[in-house]
Amino acid sequence: MKQAAIAFALLLAATRFVASAGAAESGAALIKEGEYLAKAGDCIACHSDPGGKAFAGGRAMPTPFGTLYSSNISPDPAYGIGKWTADQFYTMLHTGRSPDGGLIYPAMPFQDYTKVTRHDSDAIFAYLRSVPPVHQPNKPHELHFPYNNRQLILGWRTLFFQQGEYEPDPKQTAEWNRGAYLVQGLGHCAMCHSPINALGGTSEAKQFQGGLIPMQFWYAPSLTSDREAGLGEWSLTDIVDLLRKGVSNRGAVYGPMAEVVYNSLQYLTDADTQAMAVYLKSLGQQTPSPPAASGISANERSLLLSLGQSVYTAQCASCHGIDGRGKPPDYPPLADNQSIQMESAVNPIRMVLNGGMPPGTQLNPAPYGMPPFAGLLSDDQVAAVVTYIRTAWGNHGSAVTAQDANTLRAVPLD
């Protein structure tokens, strides 16, 4: 009898050990999944101040309404999410409300994160609870009156917020739906690639139609128009390369998108990147819209083209080629490049003035950069060479003026 009791006790202890080990393994798997999903959501980009500690918040986000500061989402119990529950974290993502019911400013893309599933929310929460806590107070926002009144967010939410997890489209494939979930939800791509109105919102009908990123002075191209970044005519390989490497045979990413690739997209699996590419390609319009008319006279345009060609030959042709075909993927092509021909000329002007570097990624660790020409070229020369590359080799962009160049010369660097 005594031996039987001992055997039972040993069996019970072994069962508890196996259960405990299984729970630990399950918890570790959830944390690992959450780390991946947090990268897919690019959480670290906003919730870490450059040079500061990860997830401690404090990054300034200038807006037309004042400056917002990102919050501490490390597991610190005083200033972070250390006392939060998984339910409260999901509610915050899903409804845009903090645990005390307070309204969150829409600089936090809860209008996109509401689509995130409960499982994925729990995984991200488990990961954030596993990172080192940072005992750093949150900075108070510096918003102009009346935008410092959070109750105004109620009106914004009525106009622009639709709560609800992503619902798969039964008419589409599982791969397309996975891509849509990542682009519309965790990736919150519409936040930049949609026009922002005077109230700081975007109507659902205009999502992904492109827009100037407020206070950053970069233009996020339309993902629907094939005359901008619409990818209907791109191969899936080129789209995948751009997302994961930051460069492809069709072009390269610079500015804010380079940061997205560096912090987020380069870490996605082949299957998820392919799924995003399938979805993004489906947004493209196969028939590009006609080029916008330019307000510059034919005589002035002729002078710009003549000067622009000489500047291009002297400064640009060695990398991008006399024919504009470049040497992809290291030196992007300018001929038949949608990013050169968009209605907005902000990006090519900024690239000529300030230069840029694609992100150093796992698949492209040593990218080739573009040198700045702000100290070498006058406003007239910048306008001329940008006009030239937007209209040469069959490109259909409109001309730009010296005033356009001068305006962007004065904007702060990223």
Residue 273 lies inside a defined structural domain of this protein? no
pLDDT higher than threshold 90 for residue 104? yes
Comparing 182-186, 231-235, 385-389, which segment has the lowest mean pLDDT?
231-235
Whole domain around residue 399: which residue ranges? 298-409
CA distances, 19 to each of 10, 55, 130, 368, 387 (Å): 14, 32, 21, 52, 68
Task: Say if CB 322 and CB 313 are below 8 A apart.
Answer: yes
For residue range 352-366, list pLDDT tens digits in order: 999 999 999 999 999
What pLDDT does 372 receive?
95
What pLDDT does 275 receive?
98
pLDDT higher than threshold 70 for residue 338? yes
Residue 157 lies inside a defined structural domain of this protein? no
- Give the count of domains, the chain: 2
Percentage of residues in the chain having pLDDT higher than 70 = 90
Identify the domain boundary among 146, 174, 200: 146
Structure tokens belonging to residue 224: 């629907």
What pLDDT does 171 receive?
97
What pLDDT does 339 receive?
86
Q: Which residue has the higher pLDDT, 292 or 319?
A: 319
Q: Which residue has the higher pLDDT, 359 or 3?
A: 359
Query: Tell me, what amino acid is at 72?
Result: N
Provide the sign of the torsion angle of the four alpha carbons 183, 184, 186, 191, taken in this order: positive
pLDDT higher than threshold 90 for residue 136? yes
Q: How far is Cα 61 from Cα 124, in angstroms, rounded to an integer?
A: 23
For residue range 45-76, list pLDDT tens digits in order: 999 998 899 999 999 998 889 999 999 999 99
Residue 212 lies inside a defined structural domain of this protein? no
For residue range 194-248, list pLDDT tens digits in order: 988 888 888 888 889 888 887 788 999 898 887 787 788 889 999 999 999 999 9
Identify the domain boundary among 84, 118, 146: 146
Residue 211 lies inside a defined structural domain of this protein? no
CA distances, 294 to each of 26, 343, 378 (Å): 60, 10, 21
Residue 105 lies inside a defined structural domain of this protein? yes
Identify the domain boundary among 146, 180, 196: 146
Q: What average pLDDT does the segment 156-177 reach?
A: 95
Q: DSSP strand E in 194-320: where?
A: 211-213, 218-220, 247-248, 251-252
Q: How far is Cα 173 from Cα 195, in angstroms, rounded to an integer?
A: 29
DSSP 329: T
What pLDDT does 58 receive?
94
CA distances, 147 to each of 64, 141, 151, 154, 160 (Å): 10, 10, 9, 12, 16
What pLDDT does 304 receive?
85
Look up the CATH number of the domain holding residue 323: 1.10.760.10
Q: What is the mean pLDDT of the chain?
A: 89
Residue 132 lies inside a defined structural domain of this protein? yes
Confidence label for 5 from pLDDT (cuts 50, 70 and 90): low
Residue 216 lies inside a defined structural domain of this protein? no
Residue 45 lies inside a defined structural domain of this protein? yes
